Amino acid sequence: MRRAAAVFWALIFSYVVVGAGSFTACAEDLKPRVIVFVHGIHGNHETWRAANGAYWPQLIQTDPHFQQSDVVVAEYPTPSRHGQYSTEQLSQILWQGLKRQRVWDHREVVFVAHSLGGLLTEEMLINHPADAARVRFVVSYATPHQGSFVASLAKIYDSDPLLTDLRDSNDNTFLMDLEDKWRSTATVSRIHRYCAYEALDTSAGEGVGRYLGAHTRVVSYYSATYGCDVDTSPKKINADHIDIVRPADRSSDAYTFFARVYHSNPVINVVENVRDNKVSGLNVDCNRNYATDDLQVPIALDPALHEQLISAEAELVDENKVRDVSPPVVKKIDPNGIAHIAYAFKGKGRNLLLGCPDGHASILVHFHIRGEVPVTE
């Protein structure tokens, strides 16, 4: 009976290896963003290959609409029987593998995760906040955020600790703690989570599958969509738990859903520029001083580009009939676009020919601004 249940579990979650080596497309000069594929339990680099031979990572790599992104396929050890690693251990193995593949050297990181892969990705990001800061979003396909009854069944016959963490029971502390940590951790709670769910039951095939019931919905709609962004509806994929991540071409629902999410969160180029603002009409009587320690000079910032004021310098210009100039100094800046400046000068004084003319000058402020410009692909 133990052997039969193990085979059943393998039939539902395992994948046939039809190629050798993992697919990694990571250029010497890294692109701004990287798309990382993370397989599920008992999966490997062939998880993403459709029956017609189409390989999802390669479909993206050769798609001109993703020209700003490298593609990396992650792998971690989950044998089909009697696995020994916990989710926490596997999340660390996953992180180390991505480090070797230079994923964390990219400016932006996004994830395509299948089943258990979504949970491991979340656990990994919670434990590595510096790297999580680079992550824009995660797209999960049939990830059991509330567990799976199939895992509960298989746990009776297999001691794999992953099955304990994937159970759909009310005392699944791993899943409850994972969601609590995600929502309460600032570095990850800002990351968008988008979800797709399987619409078809998975067939276990002959033998054991017939003994236990031929078709099973591995991850329910509610489990697959729990905790995901509410402003983007979960995507129904007309496939079973295995084929949900095996798009046959670029028009398949799994592919177009990811493409839509990707382009609604475009690659961002960080750009810096200098913009000037001049304050004119600073007049002074011929025999008086003119000084202030808080001249507030604004510059307009574009909120759509998330512009921020980084620094500012000031200079006195258009000087006429002034003396004893104290060069303007920027005392502080406000991120919302105001420079606070101190300066002083005097009138030139009386002149035998001109009498007592007024003096004047202007303050020219150079604002250094950083903004985020979406890239069209």
For residue 133, is pLDDT > 60?
yes
Span 340-350, average pLDDT: 89
* Helix and strand counts by DSSP (H, E) for the chain: 12, 15
pTM, two decimal places: 0.74
For residue 17, is pLDDT > 50?
no
For residue 310, is pLDDT > 90?
yes
For Cα atoms 139, 198, 229, give the angle at the middle one, nearest 5 degrees: 35
pLDDT at 211: 32
pLDDT at 150: 55
Question: Of 14-23, 91-100, 167-176, which gets the smallest average pLDDT?
Answer: 14-23
- Asked if residues 131 and 123 have their Cβ atoms less than 8 Å apart, the reply is no
pLDDT at 10: 37
Cα 47 from Cα 39, distance rounded (Å): 6
For residue 27, is pLDDT > 90?
no
- Split at pLDDT 50, 70, 90, the class of 175 is confident
pLDDT at 163: 62
pLDDT at 120: 93
- Split at pLDDT 50, 70, 90, the class of 153 is very low
CB within 8 A of 348, min separation 6: which ones? Answer: 286, 321, 322, 323, 357, 359
Residue corresponding to tokens 């079973």 = 240
- Asked if residues 61 and 71 have their Cβ atoms less than 8 Å apart, the reply is yes
Alpha carbon separation from 55 to 11, 65, 261, 305, 313 (Å, rounded)? 21, 17, 20, 36, 54
pLDDT at 23: 47
For residue 296, is pLDDT > 60?
yes
Query: Could you tell me which residue, 125 or 146, shows the higher pLDDT?
Result: 125
For residue 321, is pLDDT > 90?
no
For residue 157, is pLDDT > 50?
no
Phi and psi at residue 47, to the nearest 5°: -50, -30
Residues 134-143 have pLDDT tens digits of 999 999 999 9
Residues 178-210 have pLDDT tens digits of 888 999 999 999 999 999 999 998 876 533 333
pLDDT at 148: 66
Give, as one character, the DSSP assignment of residue 201.
P
pLDDT at 16: 30
Span 246-250, average pLDDT: 97
